[in-house]
């Protein structure tokens, strides 16, 4: 299935997806403040390169950053249920905006949900 995503979507669609997502994050009151104001372009590039690699495209992300180590890299940020859910809401809206094919959307959304939940490092209550 990984090869299918990159073959079907291609780099251009994944680039548009990440751009649509980050347009939302920049304006978001919960997630936006987590990003340094001078790092938006780099953050967008990192996520784009990670998704391209993860879904069967070129390994630029690995070449530049090595193993993803997602939990470690996000450790400095409080990520609880609210942050996870907002991330998923914004990514879901971005997926709809760019027209992710209906047959790929559930699996892609499931991947995002799994990763977003894995990133949680703060328990509420």
In the chain, the number of structural domains is 1
Residue 124 lies in a domain: no
Domain of 24: which CATH number? 1.10.490.10
Cβ atoms within 10 Å of 43's Cβ, excluding its own: 16
In three-state form (DSSP H/G/I as H, E/B as E, the rest C), the secondary structure along 80-119 is CHHHHHHHHHHHHHHHHHHCCCCCCHHHHHHHHHHHHHHC
Q: Does 23 fall in a domain?
A: yes
In tens, the pLDDT along 24-75 reads 999 999 999 998 899 999 999 999 999 999 999 998 877 776 665 555 555 5
Domain-embedded: residue 123: no
Computed over every residue of the chain, the mean pLDDT equals 87
Q: Which domain holds residue 38?
A: 2-118
Q: Is residue 57 part of a domain?
A: yes
Task: Give alpha helix (H) positions in 28-80.
Answer: 40-54, 60-65, 70-74
Residue 20 counted as domain residue: yes
Q: Which pLDDT score, from 0 to 100, does residue 123 have?
A: 79
Residue 125 inside a domain? The answer is no
């Amino acid at each position: 299935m990984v090869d299918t995503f990159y073959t079907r979507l291609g780099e251009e669609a994944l680039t548009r997806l990440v751009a649509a997502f980050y347009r939302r994050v920049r304006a978001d009151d919960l997630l936006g403040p987590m990003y340094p104001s001078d790092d938006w372009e780099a953050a967008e590039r990192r996520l784009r390169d990670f998704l391209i690699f993860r879904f069967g495209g070129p390994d630029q992300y690995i070449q530049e950053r090595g193993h993803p180590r997602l939990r470690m890299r996000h450790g400095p940020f409080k990520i609880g249920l609210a942050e996870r859910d907002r991330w998923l809401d914004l990514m879901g809206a971005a997926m709809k905006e760019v027209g992710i094919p209906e047959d790929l959307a559930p699996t892609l959304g499931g991947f995002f949900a799994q990763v977003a939940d894995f990133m949680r490092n703060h328990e509420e209550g």
